[in-house]
Amino acid sequence: MGQLDDGECDEYIDVGSGFLTAYQDQIEQGIADEQGPEMGDMAQYLDRNAGVAAKLMSAVWTVEEMDGRLLGRIDCHLKEPLTPDEMADLREEILGQCSDGLGEGFEQRPIETDEGDLYVSYWNSSDDYFLCTEDELEEHLEPHQGMGGI
């Protein structure tokens, strides 16, 4: 999700995927800067569950363009697979970082564009917000077919 402050309106302007995709490099650099060396690896902030903490080697926030949409992506590198309970805890902690931790700090830092200052968020409250694993992503992005979308 992105919003633009064009310096002319009193309110931010919501921008779509096309606009965000055009500034992918600047967004990637901004989130990389947010995770600078002084912060250490984000994995250290995802340690509420001891099993997750023992298995999670690193966690890196970035973005990726898929089918014309710019999506937030969190790369988690593991020593070994997580149990279902550990995966649920990791998802909850990542959501917390997206809404209140790293993501909250990032969304408050402007990314300069030709049209004005762009603010990008890794979290929003809309119905189309999702967090999934790489294995779940294809299923999530493909239109569901069948009876009633089931």
pLDDT tens, 119-137? 999 988 777 788 989 888 8
User: Whole-prediction pTM value?
Assistant: 0.85
Q: How far lies 77's CA from each of 26, 41, 83, 133, 149, in Å?
A: 24, 11, 15, 12, 33
Q: What's the rounded Cα separation, in Å, for the pair 27 and 39? A: 18
Report, as an integer, the average pLDDT of 55-60. Answer: 96
Report, as an integer, the average pLDDT of 90-112. Answer: 94
Q: Give residue limits of the domains in the chain.
A: 2-141
Report, as an integer, the average pLDDT of 1-23. Answer: 91
pLDDT for the residue 36:
86
